[in-house]
Each structure stands twice: as structure tokens, then as C-alpha cells.
Amino acid sequence: MKVLIGIGGGIAAYKVCEIISSLFKTGIELKVILTAGGEQFITPLTVATLSRHPAYTDRDFWQPLHHRPLHIELGEWADLLVIAPLTANTLGKLAQGLADNLLTNTVLASTCPILLAPAMNTEMWNQVAVQRNWQLLGQDPRYHVAGAGVGLLACDRVGMGRMAEPEEILPYIHSLLHTGGKRDLTGKRVLVSTGGTREFFDPVRFIGNPATGKMGLALAQAAAHRGGIVTLVHSTLPDVAIDRRIQLIQAIDSAMMQQQMVAHFATADLVLMSAAVADVKPAHYSDQKLPKKLLPTNLELAPVPDIIAELSKLKQPHQKLIGFAAQTGDIITPALEKLQRKNLDAIVTNPVDLPDSGFGSDRNQAVMLKRSGDRLDISPCAKLEMAHQILDGIF
């Protein structure tokens, strides 16, 4: 995979160094264009060192030709173009189809998807002309957006215009490399559950499991990057910046998760029940912390509601309901039984007793079994990649 990164003139350019370094570590081939403004904040030597490839500047653009024009070569080479930070100046040029430097000429000479990460002062961002250009650019299906956020800006103001964090931009890059920029979930409402529920027996003690929410977050990110309108109901989540288009709803225990999933189910087109919901809970709850000497030696347990079974009874013909099963040993037999018993459209079963797989890992592997009888084997890969393979398999 080949990613071309265009760096504009803003202090947020320093964040792009982390993006370049992270992408290189995943084996992606990188080239970087520095605008004249971008060079005022980071040097060609910096990005060349991180990308292991010479950086391109406008000086290279205006050199005598040795082969084909540079902007043509770069435009044809890239599978994805990322512009970060996107300044008001470059935004205006892109919106009007203007090209007066290497970056903007390369944009016009390319056909690949383009990911934009805008960054500017709040007053600049709120200008009518800037917002007009932003809306105009949004009409072009080539452009995808890691949107500007609210935060402390270099001008010491707190407001809109802060560039998205690398941990938000990086998943979007990997998604676009997988999908080629397609938005096959546009207009679809996607409901995802994730994390391991915590069933408390006093305010500080609970029955739980090791689920971290990484898989469900990856599913939510993948769906949002493909145009879906995503709601993520979570008990636990990794501490990372999350695409602000994803609606987050916290549900710590099984009762709260049941309430939220049922409440949002009717409007969903696709439901991915990836949460590791407890099977039992303490039968009794103390609203005060129990002294150690009063802790029960035998903890009485009670069943919790079977959320996915309840949802399957509510499911309408247009809805797809996907279950998940974390298993040890034979992962297929119990998953097939669950698929049939709970009337699911598909079930994703994954081993949690293999290294670098399952709970807490950044990678996973699985088998997706569909009601139609089709089977998709997903080899070990990053959880975001697995999420896209699941979505590919559903549709």
C-alpha cells in the first residue's frame, strides 16, 4: 500500500510525524510533500528520516524534467492521499480546483481517495468563506474527513479548529486503504455493543471478564469510515481518541446494556453484538462497601437477561443481527448452536486461548458463520482489518 502525505503550514504539522512513523512500522510505503508553509514548521530532513524516502517540496516541482512530471508520477503512485494539517489556504484551492504548487497539482493529477485533517484558528474556521469552501468540498466523493475538533489552539484559545489526533487519523487511513474509499454503509444505522460488563455486588467489587472493548471499537470505526451512522454502546473502551461522529453510550452492567440496546434497536439496520456480556450476576447487592470479614464465602449468583436473544425476537426483515462468541478449544460447534438457537444472521467466533488473539490484544482471528451456510475464515490480523472483513462478509 502506498500513502502520499501532504503537510500544510500549521503548528499541527508536528502531529504528522507520529502518523508517518506509525504507518512506516506497519509496512506501508510512504512519500511526503511539504508545502512552503509546511516547511516553516518541520523540515524535509525530519519527514525523510521518518518515511525513509526523500521529501518533496515546491523546489522539486519546478526543477527541469528528467522523466515524467513529478505531480503526475506522485498522483498515479498513491493509493491514498492524506492532507494534514489542511489549512484554510489549501482548502480554498481544493474547493475551487486551483493548482499553484506541488500538492494541489498532485491532487488534480490523482484519482485516489483523499483524507483531510483540517486545522486552523477558530475565527478562521468559522468564516463564511471557509465554511462555504468546506461544504463545497464535501460534495466531492473523493474527500473523506477526519474532522476538526474542539481544544486548546496555538493561539491560546479553546475552540473549534484543532486537528484530529493521530490515533483518530491512523485508523481512518487503514480503513481507506482497505475499502478504496467506498461508502457502502451510507445512510445505514449501525448499532454496536462492546466491552466486558461488570456485575457489582458492592460499590467497589464486581464479577467481570478481560474484554477491553477494542474489537467493538474497531467495528464502530470501520462502519463509520464506510459512511454508517454509528452508535456504540460500551461498558469499557480503550483510552484513545475516537471518531467524534460515533455516538458513545456507556452501559456498565448487563442491565444497563440491555436497556440501551433495546432502546436503540428499532432504528438500527445492522447490529453487531460484540460485547462480552456476563452470563450471571451476584444475586444480592450492597449499597455500602462490605467489610472484608463480611464478604460471602459462597457468592450466590443469578442469571442476567439474554440480550441478543431478546433482540432476535424484535428483529424485522430488513435488520441484520450479528452475534459474537469468544471460545476456547472447539470454537465452531458452540457457535453453530448459538447461531441457530438465537436466530442470528451470522455469528463471529474467535479463540481466546491462542497467543496474540482475543481479549486485550490489538490483533484477532475468527470464523464467521452465516445462516445461509457460508463460512468466512479470518486469518490473524489487526482488529480494524478484521472488522472490515466482517462487514465485507455481511454485505
Q: Which of 222, 142, 234, 218 is nearest to 185 (CA)?
A: 222
The DSSP code for 343 is T
Could you confirm whether 155 is annotated as catalytic? yes
Known binding residues for CTP are 279, 289, 305-308, 324, 338, 342
Cβ(113)–Cβ(74) below 8 Å: no
Measure the CA–CA gap between 84 and 170, rounded to whole angstroms: 12
Q: Which of 340, 5, 366 is nearest to 218 (CA)?
A: 366
Q: Which residues pair with 380 in a beta bridge?
A: none
Residue ranges of alpha helices (H) inside the chain are 13-25, 44-51, 58-61, 70-77, 88-96, 102-108, 122-126, 128-137, 166-179, 214-225, 254-265, 307-314, 332-341, 383-394
Measure the CA–CA gap between 339 and 333, rounded to whole angstroms: 10
Q: Cell 444472521 identifies what position? A: 345
CA atoms within 13 A on the CB side of 149: 15
Catalytic option among 17, 112, 155, 381: 155
Cβ(82)–Cβ(32) below 8 Å: no
The DSSP code for 40 is G
Supply the residues annotated as catalytic: 155
